[in-house]
Homo-oligomer: A and B are copies of this chain.
Amino acid sequence: MLGIDDGKFIPRTQGTVIAVGVVFRGGYSIEGVMHTNIAIDGLDATEKFAAMINTSPHHKQLRLVMLNGITFAGFNIVDIKRLYASTCLPVLALTHDKPDMDAVCEALKNLPNSEERRRLVVEAGEIHEVINNGAKIYLELAGLSLTDAQKIIRLTSIRSCLPEPLRVAHLIASGISP
């Protein structure tokens, strides 16, 4: 499976941020690393992630994509259903913090294409609250059931309440950020 997280950046600036994808076999073994660059507060995360995945030599061995939430590089929101359709891989977006929809919608007002962004937030579907290793986490799903998602999360959360692909993608993306 693949875990994706983005690097550090200065909010509300222009430019791009690196997003790192880490290929894991089960919860233990790192098999590869890939990257792409997405625009801060842009609208290109879905297509950039899809291209990164589809052109990767690891594509054939992947069975699932895990995202650290659906918003990257500020408010560059991933259309998880479109990412599922274009990669043929189920998408599991997972966060530690409860998504604050009111705050998100308020922030979107100040951005171009706010209608489009709001649509992506809504179309990501239901936010499922589940308990993992004693901590609350929040899931949005495309292409897999909540039961399967919970099974996968349980099997891959070895060192923390986050699955290893996401924990390690976060360490790498922040560790290589300027």
Stretch at the interface among A64-72, A117-125, A169-177: A169-177
> Would you call A168 an interface residue if the criterion is a C-beta within 8 Å of the partner chain's C-beta atoms?
yes
CB distance from A176 to the nearest CB of B (A): 5
The answer on a CB contact under 8 Å between B159 and A33 is no
Copies per complex of this chain: 2
Chain A count of residues within 8 A CB distance of the other chain: 17
Give the residues in chain B near A29, CB-CB below 8 Å. 159
The answer on a CB contact under 8 Å between B34 and A175 is yes
From B28, B31, B176, A35 is in contact (CB under 8 Å) with B176
From B28, B35, B159, A175 is in contact (CB under 8 Å) with B35
> Would you call A50 an interface residue if the criterion is a C-beta within 8 Å of the partner chain's C-beta atoms?
no
> Would you call A30 an interface residue if the criterion is a C-beta within 8 Å of the partner chain's C-beta atoms?
yes
The answer on a CB contact under 8 Å between B28 and A174 is no
Residue of B nearest to A30 (CB): B168
Give the residues in chain B near A35, CB-CB below 8 Å. 175-176
> Would you call A78 an interface residue if the criterion is a C-beta within 8 Å of the partner chain's C-beta atoms?
no
> Would you call A18 an interface residue if the criterion is a C-beta within 8 Å of the partner chain's C-beta atoms?
yes
> Would you call A112 an interface residue if the criterion is a C-beta within 8 Å of the partner chain's C-beta atoms?
no
> Would you call A20 an interface residue if the criterion is a C-beta within 8 Å of the partner chain's C-beta atoms?
yes
> Would you call A15 an interface residue if the criterion is a C-beta within 8 Å of the partner chain's C-beta atoms?
no
Contact residues, A148-174 vs B (CB, 8 A): 159, 168, 171-172, 174
From B28, B30, B176, A171 is in contact (CB under 8 Å) with B30
Using A32-B171, A34-B175, A172-B172 as known contacts, list a sample of 5 further A-B pairs with CB atoms less than 8 Å apart, ordered by residue number in A.
Answer: A29-B159, A30-B171, A32-B175, A33-B172, A35-B175
